[in-house]
Structure 1
Amino acid sequence: MVLNPEALKSYEAKVFGIRGSIELVLDRRIAGLYIWGDGGVGKSHVVTTTLQSMGVKYLLHNSRMSAPALFDHLANSPHDVHVFEDLETMTEDKSAWDVLRSALWSQDDQTRRITWNVKGRTEQAAFDGSLIFTANVPLQENNRVNALASRLINYPFHPTEAEILALAANLALQGHEHQGSRLPPEACLEVVEYVEKRSRETQRKCSIRAIVNAWRARISYENHKTRLSWQESADLLVRQSFTAMPQTREARKIVEQKIAEDIYKKGLRGAAAHDEFAKATGKAKSAWYDRLKELGIRNPGKPENN
């Protein structure tokens, strides 16, 4: 597999922004961070490895959570960093929004007082911890959400497929350990090549999650723990790794604008830009020009004749 140092450098530049945002949150300059982008591109990996490298303990929440449960978690651990993974259902709950809004704002920017009304009584707790969210969709535009969005950093994260593969190859060079077994670098690279090939053939988006799980599937196969070959397991993972675009039109447009902007900034034009945009979004080249015009880029290159 040919390594791509430029794509890796580009990926690390995007990650640098996330890590800087996490530092702001941990320094209590800003109470929260919302990172959104396609599933399987490494959002949670960046957050957790950054916190671990800084020696910061955190509480991870990655299952469905009601508003009362959210209040209890924040009240019971008011000084901690709370990391919420893919909890879009919680952010659709008006009561949960109210708890989050209180936890993300105060007049003195330090201690925030959160309240919960239940059975005729009011429970209160002082909270000065930090909230970090990862999600597959952006915060939707409405008055209630805007009140929350203004209190945290909203960070879109959209690495390209080339950047994801560059990251995977770089990780592969270190080998992969899981539950006491180790897959050597050459085997890891072979898995990356296979997942990339099968993703391309099946028109799926290549994801870090699928690659890491394929490494683990190969370890299981070589340890004689599964009847499936590692290639068969990888095929299953690739089919599951497809990430649909957000369902609302406005959410899709935001994602497409970011993808178009990234491609434009890379210097791609004409057919090369159209192909990259189509691969990422499934949209025709006319959508490429539309998204750029919406961003104020009026002359991204003369459209080619059909």
Structure 2
Amino acid sequence: MRGTMATKTRRKTMAGKKNGGRKARSESHATPTPADLPRTALEEKQALLAHHVRMVARGLTHGLFVSGGGGVGKSKVISETLAAEGVLPVLINSHITPLSLYAALYEHRQDKILWLDDADSMYSNMPILGLLRSALWGTAEGRVVTYSSTQLSGVPGNFEFQSKLIFTANAIPKRNEAFKAVLSRVDVFELTATNDEILEQMDVLARGGFGSLDAAACQQVVDYIRHAGGNRQLSMRLYESSLRKVEYAIATGTDWRDLVRSQLDQLGSKDRDGIPKPLDTKGHDLRCMALAVEKFPASARQQEEFWCESTGKSRATFFRVKKQFEAQQQEDNQ
């Protein structure tokens, strides 16, 4: 497999030389889906999020809260949509104190969009939540924000806030009534994606190739992630980083599957509370074996190739797991 991918890459390079030496256009995971292809399920969700962001940019709502796990495109959609609307947001994406947030709200109080990006730690701070409530909902006098502190310097103790807010988090904070009060003042959108939806998106992106890799090589990597991923929680961030590892592996003569597998091993599945837990590797190995036997019932060699590719494990391990699988099948049939 490693030799096949390297050969295809060399052919692609040679084709570029025949084309007057012009270098093929490098494509990344941000390449738009071809117009003649229908949107994927994830793209449909991202398009709906873009509408919500657009409404904030056009002044139809004061604020938007977006939640969702990492690597599903929250920040990408928000930044690209605001840019398309000609909006340069005021980005706040690190720790901030209530006093600093108050000063930032005052400085950008008119006709701006403040974007609190993945600022989960802020949402348990009661003074910050109080400022957000005031900035997002007001009375007949407007959205008046107040703050009392001896440290105020050059900033009034109250002002009318006429800008808008977008804030994001990986998850909606639980058992936080003060934060619920903030959410009641804004539009709320949850961007989530199942592993099947993420893999569908990867399949589409693979058609455009990546860097020195052609479409077939990219699809080979996506298929490996599909089979070796097990019940790990996948994200779109895995796509580009995996392909860069493949490019490195081809250049250095390394087995790219080992590199991609090492990255997959850092991911975990999630329990009902959303907390990552270790992957059941034995169960995953047996599921891959069942799939190998189903796909190639008459060929042990093809079963071995499929299983080793799917798990990244050795031929010796294949035979050991197959023996366990057959013993399990006998027990189930008794």
TM-score (norm 1): 0.64
Q: 1:234 aligns with which of 247, 252, 260?
A: 260
Task: Name the structure 2 match of 1:191.
Answer: 221
The number of aligned residues is: 237
Quick check: 1:171 aligned with 2:197? Answer: no
Q: Does 1:56 align with 2:87?
A: yes
Structure 1 partner of 2:236: 208
Which structure has the greater CA radius of gyration? 2
- Tell me, in whole angstroms, the C-alpha distance in 2 between the residues paired with 1:196 and 1:7: 21
Distance change in 2, residues 1:204/1:46 (3 Å)? same
1:280-295 paired onto structure 2 within 5 Å = none
Letter in 2 for 1:216: R
How many angstroms does 1:91 deviate by?
0.5
Distance of aligned partners of 1:199 and 1:230 in 2 relative to their CA distance in 1, 3 Å threshold: same
The one-letter code matched in structure 2 to 1:38 is G
**CA separation in 2, counterparts of 1:220 and 1:117?**
56
State the alpha-carbon separation in 1 of the partners of residues 105 and 257 from structure 2. Answer: 43
Separation in 2 of the partners of 1:99 and 1:228? 54
SS at 1:41's partner residue? Answer: coil
Task: Indicate conservation of the 8 Å contact 2:40/2:201, yes or no.
Answer: no
2:58 counterpart of 1:24: no
Secondary structure of 1:60's match? strand
Change (3 A) 1:86 1:239: farther
1:84-123 correspondence to structure 2 within 5 Å: 84-107=116-139, 112-119=143-150, 123=157
Q: CA deviation at 1:183?
A: 4.7
When residues 113 and 243 of structure 1 are mapped into structure 2, their CA distance, relative to the original with a 3 A threshold, is farther
Looking at structure 2, the residues matched to 228 and 100 of structure 1 have their Cα atoms a distance apart, in angstroms, of 51
Structure 1 pair 48–87 and aligned structure 2 pair: CA distance change class (3 A) = same
Structure 1: tracts of 5 or more residues without a match: 250-306
Tell me which amino acid in the other structure corresponds to 1:135: A
Provide closer, same or farther for how the CA distance between residues 243 and 7 of structure 1 changes in structure 2, counting only shifts above 3 A.
farther
- 1:259-299 Cα offsets, whole Å, 9 max, x none, are xxxxxxxxxxxxxxxxxxxxxxxxxxxxxxxxxxxxxxxxx
The residue matched to 1:20 in structure 2 has which SS?
A: helix
Contact 1:36–1:157 (Cα < 8 Å) also in 2: yes
* Structure 1 equivalent of residue 165 of structure 2: 131
Identity of aligned residues (%): 26
Provide the rounded CA distance (Å) in 1 between the counterparts of 2:101 and 2:272: 25
Match of 1:11 in 2: 42
CA deviation profile, 1:230-259 (whole Å, cap 9, x unmatched): 43442233233436457499xxxxxxxxxx
